[in-house]
């Protein structure tokens, strides 16, 4: 998708209803449960936010950024995600969290990002986080950096996400489950599954409306 066409669609995207849990759970592993709000409230889930940021590449095609998390002793080590992280007491909103974390992790300037939509929260049971995704865009091609939390920056063409051939399944093993078959996206030669794939599918469903 040409970036100028994407920008022209933003006003329409802002008014389209979200696909919500129905869209997210199309890409959820079979063992993933739809927890009730009462259950999540009882778990006192930690708040976090991520940024799905769209920008033009050198050919003026619309891209967004994913990251490969660094290897560490933690639940989500070496997994693919959007830039983002935990809500900080100094943040005055979850939107501020998403922008701050994107700056820290990949060098995006918060003042240059225009947020245009908040997506459906995603509860992540293994780490007990409730994550709020935000959609935003930059008017230029950024020079990404990375901090110690990021192993690799992964630019993805938006048209690849919208391509039905990007959907697949794969077998994964994690710290909490072994050899499980999960739905996924194959994007930029990377397998994206779990919470990030759930977020991406809701974004895909949204974009299919324009």
Q: How far apart are CA 188 and CA 160, in angstroms?
A: 8
Question: Rg for the chain (alpha carbons), in Å?
Answer: 16
Q: How far apart are CA 192 and CA 56, in angstroms?
A: 22
Residue 103 Cα distances to 50, 177, 182, angstroms: 11, 32, 31
In this prediction, residues 59-76 reach a mean pLDDT of 82
Domains of the chain: 3-162+194-207 (3.90.79.10)
45-54: pLDDT as tens digits: 999 999 999 9
108-145: pLDDT as tens digits: 999 999 999 999 999 999 889 999 999 999 999 999 99
Q: What is the pLDDT of residue 144?
A: 97
Q: How far apart are CA 160 and CA 166, in angstroms?
A: 7
Q: Is the predicted pLDDT of residue 76 greater than 70, yes or no?
A: no
SS3 41: helix
Q: How far apart are CA 161 and CA 208, in angstroms?
A: 11
In this prediction, residues 174-187 reach a mean pLDDT of 87
Q: How far apart are CA 52 and CA 134, in angstroms?
A: 6
Q: At what angle do helices 3-15 and 194-207 cross, to 10 degrees?
A: 90
Nearest to 129 by CA among 172, 183, 178, 74: 74
Q: Is the predicted pLDDT of residue 73 greater than 60, yes or no?
A: no
82-96: pLDDT as tens digits: 999 999 999 999 999
SS3 36: coil
Q: What is the pLDDT of residue 188?
A: 96
**The pTM is what?**
0.93
Q: How far apart are CA 11 and CA 204, in angstroms?
A: 17
């Amino acid at each position: 998708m040409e970036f100028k066409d994407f920008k022209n669609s933003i006003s329409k995207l802002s008014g389209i209803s979200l696909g919500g849990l129905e869209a997210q759970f199309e890409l959820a592993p079979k063992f993933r449960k739809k927890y009730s709000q009462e259950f999540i409230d009882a778990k006192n889930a930690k708040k976090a936010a991520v940024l799905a940021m769209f920008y033009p590449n050198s050919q003026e095609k619309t891209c967004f950024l994913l990251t490969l998390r660094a290897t560490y002793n933690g639940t989500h080590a070496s997994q693919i995600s959007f830039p983002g992280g935990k809500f900080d007491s100094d943040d005055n909103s979850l939107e501020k969290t998403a922008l701050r974390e994107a700056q820290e992790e990949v060098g995006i300037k918060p003042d240059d990002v225009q947020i245009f939509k908040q997506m459906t929260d995603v509860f992540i049971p293994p780490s007990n986080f409730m994550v709020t995704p935000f959609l935003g865009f930059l008017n230029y091609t950024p020079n990404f950096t990375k901090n110690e939390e990021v192993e690799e920056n992964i630019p993805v063409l938006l048209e690849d996400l919208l391509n039905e051939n990007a959907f697949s399944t794969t077998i994964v093993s994690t710290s909490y489950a072994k050899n499980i078959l999960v739905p996924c996206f194959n994007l930029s030669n990377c397998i994206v599954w779990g919470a990030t794939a759930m977020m991406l599918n809701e974004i895909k469903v949204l974009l299919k409306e324009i």
